[in-house]
Amino acid sequence: MSTLLVILGVLLLTAVPYILGCSNGAILVSKYILRDDIRTHGSGNAGLTNFNRVFGGKLTLLVILADVLKAVFGVLLGMLGARLMVRGGVDVVTPLRAKYIAGLFCELGHMFPCMFGFRGGKGIMSGGIIAIMISWKVAVVVWGSFLLLTAITKYVSVGSISTGILFPIMAWVLYRDPVCLFFAFCVGALIVFQHRGNIQRLMQGTENKFSLHKKAK
């Protein structure tokens, strides 16, 4: 019985958040509602910013809702998995560690969805929700940095990259837990890695600036 609880706990902590993360809002809405694929338009990224630039409209809210819900449930189920592991006799995964672990796997699903050819988004919206689920202190810093730098520079990518840098820093400053730091670093590194094209365009001066409106064709 204890072994089954541990196995179920590990699945809830890792595999389930990954599968939920694969439910990429931009891909789902574009493919199954618009009968199109966001990855063939604009920057080619399956994310909120590119979806809004290409399609715009009220469907953007559905993309946000999908990315919010998968992050919330991914973290909650990961915490449930950690509790099951404790009941099975494995108590190394604390609730805080569970949030970071489940958050990483949710981000992996969002960025590299197995059912969509491993071509997903950059993990900013889902990552922001994961930050909220971890701690309001983490959320204030990463969301504050994102909003402030985006407002100042008019580049969403600059704000996004800052979140990837600050996420592991906040994990260490607040918790001093090497396990949390490791998984936070992985999340942050993945976010920065997913923005490598943006970094190149920023250096070349060809990066698109932020706009609330659908891009004119």
For the residues of 162-176, what is the DSSP string, one character each?
HHHHHHHHHHHHHH-
> For residue 43, what pLDDT band results from cuts at 50, 70 and 90?
confident
Domain boundaries, the chain: 2-204
Residues 6+ away with beta carbon under 8 Å from 111? 21, 120, 121, 122, 123, 190, 194
Rounded distance, CA 171 to CA 134, Å?
A: 10
Query: How far apart are alpha carbons 32 and 21 in whole angstroms?
Result: 17
Least-confidence region, from 117-121, 201-205, 209-213: 209-213
Q: Which tokens is 195 given?
A: 């923005």
The Cα–Cα gap between 33 and 97 comes to: 37
Say whether pLDDT at 216 is over 80: no
Q: For 30, what's the count of Cα atoms within 13 Å in the CB-facing half-sphere?
A: 26
Whole-structure pTM value: 0.91
> Which tens digit of pLDDT belongs to each residue from 117-171?
999 999 999 999 999 999 999 999 999 999 999 999 999 999 999 999 999 999 9
Residue with tokens 């909220």: 132
Angle between helices 124-134 and 59-87 (to 10 degrees): 40
Tens of pLDDT, residue by residue over 65-112, are 999 999 999 999 999 999 999 999 999 999 999 999 999 999 999 999
Q: How far apart are CA 35 and CA 29, in angstroms?
A: 8
Q: Which of 161, 212, 207, 201 is nearest to 52 (CA)?
A: 212
Listed residue (194, 9, 21) closest to 103, CA to CA: 21
